[in-house]
Amino acid sequence: MNFYLLFILTILIGSYVLEVLVEILNIKNLKTDLPEEFAGYYDAENYQKSQQYLKENTWFGIITETVFTPLTIAFILLGGFNYVDSLARSFNLGAILTGLIFAGILLLLSQIIHIPFSAYATFVIEEKYGFNRTTVKTFIMDILKSWLLMAVIGGTVFSIVLWFFEKTGTWAWLYCWGAMIIIQLFLSFIAPVVIMPIFNKFYPLEESELKSTIEDYARAQRFKLKGVFKMDASKRSSKSNAFFTGFGKFRRIVLFDTLIAKHTVDELVSVLAHEMGHYKKKHIITSMIISILTTGLMFFILSLFLNNTGLFAAFKMENTSLYASLLFFGFLYAPIEMVLAIFGNMLSRSHEYAADAYAATTYRKPEAMIAALKKLSVDNLSNLTPHSLKVFLSYSHPPVLERIKALRNLC
């Protein structure tokens, strides 16, 4: 058996088995007794509902994987990639256009197969637990908009990478890396003003006690506030959140309208102070630099596997091509990506503790921060007792009880 095929099948099946195992451990870790911290925030019935929500989502996730993993394997073994390649080549266009058609068809196929699953998640599961606010129209428009965005951004990136590898030889990976740094910086710069408004509306926060308290706090922290915005998240879901986005004069803090509706001014300022903490503690710039470094690593490893005939044989391809190399490389890179994600999540969790501490020590109302965390968990039916392996592998934020404990240790 082809070594690459064996490797890829092992990775696909291995990560499927690992995921199912972790999810089952996670469900087994559910405790029927409400953690003491949450007394008064959850009644028995709602706590049970939150666990039911977790179970339903978990089983749905497992079913989804159980469909997609064999489907992917069958597509590889039955020569699906070669079939799509012959189709793309039949148009007799240049290498870059042929590559765009090849990747476009595959991406479209996988997107279309995902639609019923995403519709079920939104209109059946989220609906059942009272979260869903998405109309069928918003759902369809979201898909079309994201396809358009993928075509524009993905198409540009794919073409640039192909062009460099076609034309510049040994050092192509360095040029690709350079181009990607520019695109990445450009996108994070314009995202708040160009990309995000495609999906949501952003309103500057109106004059209110909330706004003046935020401004007073920001002034005291010598934080140049470029804008606090309210986002119409409620058009999709009743879940709430807040985030920091953008650089330079486009940087802004965004609060979901659903968050504003359910929290007191002190709780909201605590959440915002946490977001500001990420900025002040340079978490945003650190993540950006790490992402740039890992992109470089990826391009370097990619350059070692271009037009690798063994890899092409694994996918039953009749012709080698740079564009297909890029796609197939994705399968080889998956385990490296997983390891990088584990380290990335570890770092992110430590950043969350640091931002919580920043909020609690600068706004000096840790109780408000704790109350905000509790309300957020209850409103979003978050899992209060995730299994440690699940946290290790995929949690970008520490479990809420650990965050509360860390905050209490500060006081």
Whole-angstrom CA distances from 212 to 102, 204, 205, 247, 371 are 54, 13, 10, 23, 21
* Catalytic option among 275, 337, 352, 367: 275
Of 344, 393, 384, the closest CA to residue 23 belongs to 393
Q: How far is the CB of 72 from Zn ion (least distance, A)?
A: 33
The site map against Zn ion for 350-379 (x = CB under 5 A) is --x--x------------------------
The answer to whether 142 is a known catalytic residue is no
Q: How far is the CB of 64 from Zn ion (least distance, A)?
A: 28
Compute the Cα dihedral for 377, 233, 274, 195 and give only its sign.
Answer: positive
Q: How far is the CB of 408 from Zn ion (least distance, A)?
A: 18
The answer to whether 23 is a known catalytic residue is no
User: What DSSP designation does 319 have?
Assistant: S
Q: Which residue's CB is nearer to Zn ion, number 267 or number 352? A: 352
Q: How far is the CB of 219 from Zn ion (least distance, A)?
A: 22
Interface with Zn ion (CB under 5 A), residue total 2
Of 182, 265, 257, 255, the closest CA to residue 225 belongs to 255
* Catalytic option among 37, 85, 267, 356: 356
Q: Which residue's CB is nearer to Zn ion, number 236 or number 278? A: 278
The site map against Zn ion for 314-353 (x = CB under 5 A) is --------------------------------------x-
Q: Which residue's CB is nearer to Zn ion, number 99 or number 366? A: 366
Q: Determine the Cα–Cα distance for residues 307 and 322; give it in Å rounded to an integer.
A: 6
Q: Which residue's CB is nearer to Zn ion, number 269 or number 355? A: 355
Q: Which residue's CB is nearer to Zn ion, number 210 or number 355? A: 355
Q: How far is the CB of 51 from Zn ion (least distance, A)?
A: 25
Helix (H, G, I), strand (E, B) or coil at 230: strand
Q: Determine the Cα–Cα distance for residues 370 and 270; give it in Å rounded to an integer.
A: 9
**How close are the terminal C-alpha atoms of the chain, in Å?**
61
Q: Are 268 and 210 in contact (CB under 8 A)?
A: yes
Q: Determine the Cα–Cα distance for residues 203 and 189; give it in Å rounded to an integer.
A: 19
Could you list the residues that contact Zn ion (CB under 5 A)?
Answer: 352, 355
Active site residues: 275, 356
